[in-house]
């Protein structure tokens, strides 16, 4: 690592996206004496409230992007759907970490699955679907249930359609607007887990303990760390994450979401394996527990990595539970303030709506 590649206290991190992830990156950066400059579409967003500067513009506004690049020392993002052209425009001016390759491999579910398979990493069986005819053909091979997903811009279960016995394939394709899709075979998982890993500018690797995640209405509701799984399976999940980071020549924090599949063989021996579902090239909701529950938070780890600084210790401080406060669950804030040991985080969103992530609460059990 060259000295020039590393930031110094007082330098500025440019953050693409103004949501709560950017807010928590900015807060971690501030603690380490770094400034942040947020690029977002709306004034007053959660990250803008805590950053030294904000640019409010569209991804296509090259004049605004050029001024932003001029004002920052490194660019990162809290949102993986940053257009490739925006990332390339910025990368020509300032280091973008993680680099545009991470965006290219994770914005499209088909490209992502091909990338994982190319590394020998297990995924659900899948097929590319461009029309209702291809869907009818492949559903025969993959069987039901299966899940049809749009290749791009899906999140929190949006852009997905479960095909069960009797579901009409034409209606499924139409329901997703006829967009290019991927059909995935159903993985009969025991639980969903994720690894929040990091890679430094010097190639160093660190990961937090594997955590397990529960969803309600497709939105993360609860994360527990550590995940209930065999140590060998957890080690395999770490190795997979490490392999992905190296293959992307990645700098920063990544989240790898996986299914834990468990089978008991005829001799009664339990066998576990992990299947990768999705990669998020950014800090992630299932890593929020690290702020109160680990020696370094995922946000600080990300800041350290993109600043070219040494990674911090990911050691867990106890047994952890993180609950999201979604929609009107945020009304619990007053009661949570009086609960000993409850670490409350609110994102500064003016208005609560059903399904909107308003905050979270972490409980650490020593
Ligand atoms: P995703 O947007 O790909 O993270 O999917 C949202 C949720 O749908 C996951 O967290 C799983 O609970 C479920 N899911 C997605 N893909 C599959 C699959 N191939 N098999 C079983 N469940 C799935």
**Ligand 1 pocket, CB under 6 A:** 124, 147, 154, 157, 184, 186-187, 192, 215, 218, 257, 277-278
Q: For CATH 3.40.50.20, list the domain ranges present in the chain.
A: 3-96
For residue 88, the CA-to-ligand 1 centroid distance in Å is 30
Q: For CATH 3.30.1490.20, list the domain ranges present in the chain.
A: 125-185
User: Which residue's CA is the closest to the ligand 1 atom numbered 5?
Assistant: 157
For residue 259, the CA-to-ligand 1 centroid distance in Å is 9
* Protein fold of 191-365: D-amino Acid Aminotransferase; Chain A, domain 1 (3.30.470)
Provide CB contacts within 8 A for 356, sequence distance 6+.
326, 327, 349
pLDDT tens digits along 228-280:
999 999 999 999 999 999 999 999 999 999 999 999 999 999 999 999 999 99
Please report the atom of ligand 1 found closest to the CA of residue 156: 2
What pLDDT shows up at residue 169? 85
Q: Any idea which architecture 3-96 has in CATH?
A: 3-Layer(aba) Sandwich (3.40)
Q: For CATH 3.30.470.20, list the domain ranges present in the chain.
A: 191-365
Of 165, 330, 191, the closest CA to residue 259 belongs to 191
Question: Which residues of the chain carry a pLDDT beneath 70?
Answer: 1-4
For residue 214, the CA-to-ligand 1 centroid distance in Å is 12
pTM of the predicted model as reported, rounded to 2 decimal places: 0.97
Pocket test for ligand 1, best of 147, 159, 190 (most atoms within 8 A of CB): 147
What pLDDT shows up at residue 4? 57
Distance CA 140, CA 124 (A): 16
For residue 111, the CA-to-ligand 1 centroid distance in Å is 17
First to last CA, the chain: 38
Distance CA 226, CA 361 (A): 17
For residue 160, the CA-to-ligand 1 centroid distance in Å is 9
Please report the atom of ligand 1 found closest to the CA of residue 257: 4
For the chain, count helices (H), then strands (E).
Answer: 11, 17
Please report the atom of ligand 1 found closest to the CA of residue 149: 3
For residue 180, the CA-to-ligand 1 centroid distance in Å is 18
In a 10 Å sphere around its CB, with 0-12 CB exposed, 13-18 middle and 19+ buried, how is residue 33 labelled? exposed
Residue the block writes with tokens 């492949």: 138
* Protein fold of 125-185: Dna Ligase; domain 1 (3.30.1490)
Quick one: DSSP state of residue 41? S
């Amino acid at each position: 690592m060259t000295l020039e590649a590393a930031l110094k206290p007082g330098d500025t991190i440019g953050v693409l996206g103004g949501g709560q992830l950017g807010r928590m990156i900015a807060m971690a950066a501030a603690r380490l004496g770094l400034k942040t400059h947020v690029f977002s579409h709306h004034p007053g967003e959660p990250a803008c409230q805590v950053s030294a500067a904000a640019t409010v513009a569209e991804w296509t506004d090259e004049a605004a992007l050029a001024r932003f690049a001029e004002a920052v020392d490194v660019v990162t993002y809290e949102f993986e759907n940053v257009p490739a052209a925006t990332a390339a425009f910025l990368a020509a001016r300032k280091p973008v970490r993680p680099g545009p390759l991470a965006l290219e491999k994770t914005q499209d579910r088909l490209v992502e699955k091909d990338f994982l398979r190319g590394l020998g990493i297990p995924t659900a069986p899948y097929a590319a679907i461009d029309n209702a005819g291809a869907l009818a053909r492949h559903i025969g091979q993959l069987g039901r249930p299966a899940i049809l997903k749009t290749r791009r811009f899906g999140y929190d279960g949006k852009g997905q359609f479960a095909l069960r016995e009797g579901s009409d394939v034409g209606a499924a394709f139409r329901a997703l607007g006829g967009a290019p899709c991927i059909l995935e075979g159903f993985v009969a998982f025991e639980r969903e887990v994720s690894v929040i890993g990091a890679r430094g500018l010097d190639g160093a690797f660190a990961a937090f303990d594997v955590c397990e995640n529960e969803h309600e209405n497709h939105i993360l509701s609860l994360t527990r760390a550590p995940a209930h799984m065999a140590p060998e399976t957890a080690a395999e999940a770490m190795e997979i994450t490490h392999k992905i980071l190296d293959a992307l020549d990645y700098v920063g924090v990544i989240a790898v979401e996986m299914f834990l599949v468990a089978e008991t063989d005829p001799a009664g021996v339990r066998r576990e394996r992990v299947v990768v579902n999705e990669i998020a090239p950014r800090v992630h909701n299932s890593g929020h527990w690290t702020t109160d529950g680990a020696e370094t938070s995922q946000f600080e780890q990300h800041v350290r990595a993109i600043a070219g600084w040494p990674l911090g210790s990911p050691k867990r401080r106890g047994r952890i539970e993180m609950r999201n406060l979604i929609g009107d669950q945020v009304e619990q804030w007053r009661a949570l303030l009086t609960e000993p040991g409850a670490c409350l985080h609110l994102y500064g969103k003016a208005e609560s709506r059903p399904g909107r992530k308003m905050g979270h609460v972490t409980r650490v059990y020593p």
